[in-house]
Amino acid sequence: MSGNGATGEEVPGGRQVRVEVFPDGEALSEAAAALVAAQATEAIRARGRFLWALAGGRTPTRTYARLAELPYREQIDWGRVEIFFGDERCVPPEDPLSNYRLAKEMLLSRVPLPMTQVHRLACESDPEEEAGRYEALLRLMFQGRPWGFDLALLGLGADGHTASLFPGLLPPANTWVAVVARPGESFRRLTLTPAVLNLSRLLVFLVTGRDKAPALRAVLTGEEAMAASPVHQLRPPAGEIRWLADQEAAALL
C-alpha cells in the first residue's frame, strides 16, 4: 500500500502508532480498498472466511465503492465474506441515516455476496433485544477462531468518538453490543464495544478532512482534551491498529 509517507506518533503507554498519510481522500480510499482486499485474501486462504466489521459514517463511502469495482470486485471471494457493522443508528434500513443503507448502496448490492452473510444491526424496533441477539451471533461466529473480526474499520468523530462510542457515554465493560442514547438525537444507536473490538486481528481507522485534524492529533498524542476518547480503550492484545489519514486530517501531526 503506498501512502506519501508515514508519520510515527507516540501515544499513551509509549506504543508506537503509525499513521499513514495520503494526499487526499481518493488516495486514502484506494489504499483502504487494497488493504481490505489483502486482509480478505489472507483470511480466506488461512481460515476459509473473512469476518469484517464495517465502519459507519461517510468517510468509508469511496472505499466501499472502490471495492465494488475492478480489480477488487474480482479479487475478493465474496462468497466467503461475512459482513458485520461497527454501529448503527436505530432507524429503518432504508433511512438516509442508516449505516447499513450506505454500505448496501455502495458495496453490498454490487458484489456477489449472499445477503444471508450480511449481518445488519436490525435495531429499529427493539434495540435492547437486537443487542442481545447480535452479541449471541458474534459469540457463535467467533467460536474456534484465534480472534474475532479479521478486520474492523472505524471512523473518528471530531469529538473523538468512534463507532457509537462517545466520550462520557461508554457502555459496561463486559458487553459486546451496547445501546447508546446520544443526547440531542431522536434515535438510539447500537454499537460494538471495546470488549469485542479488542478481539479483532486488525483495527483500521479511516480519517479524512480538516475538521478531524484536532481530534486526530489529540487522540494520537494523548492530549488531555481527548483523554476520555474511547479510542484509548481500543488496544487489541492479539491484534494491530492502523491509522489511514489524508493530509487535511493529518495537518496538525
Q: Can you give the binding site for ligand 6PG, defined by CB under 6 A?
A: 55-59, 86-87, 99, 155-157, 161-164
CA 115, CA 109: separation in Å to the nearest integer? Answer: 9
Shortest distance (Å) from residue 76 CB to ligand 6PG: 22
What residues have CB less than 8 Å from 246, skipping those under 6 apart? 21, 22, 23, 24, 25, 27, 28, 207, 208, 209
Closer CB to ligand 6PG, 57 or 148, in the complex = 57
Shortest distance (Å) from residue 106 CB to ligand 6PG: 13
Closer CB to ligand 6PG, 31 or 44, in the complex = 31
Shortest distance (Å) from residue 45 CB to ligand 6PG: 29
Helix, strand, coil tally for the chain in percent (to 5)? 35, 20, 45
C-beta nearest to ligand 6PG: residue: 155
Closer CB to ligand 6PG, 78 or 100, in the complex = 100
Closer CB to ligand 6PG, 49 or 56, in the complex = 56
What are the phi and psi torsion angles at 235 (to 5°)? -145, 75
Shortest distance (Å) from residue 52 CB to ligand 6PG: 15
Closer CB to ligand 6PG, 34 or 152, in the complex = 152
Q: For the chain, how big is the Rg over CA atoms in Å?
A: 17
Type of residue at 66: R
Residue 189, strand partner residues: 89, 180
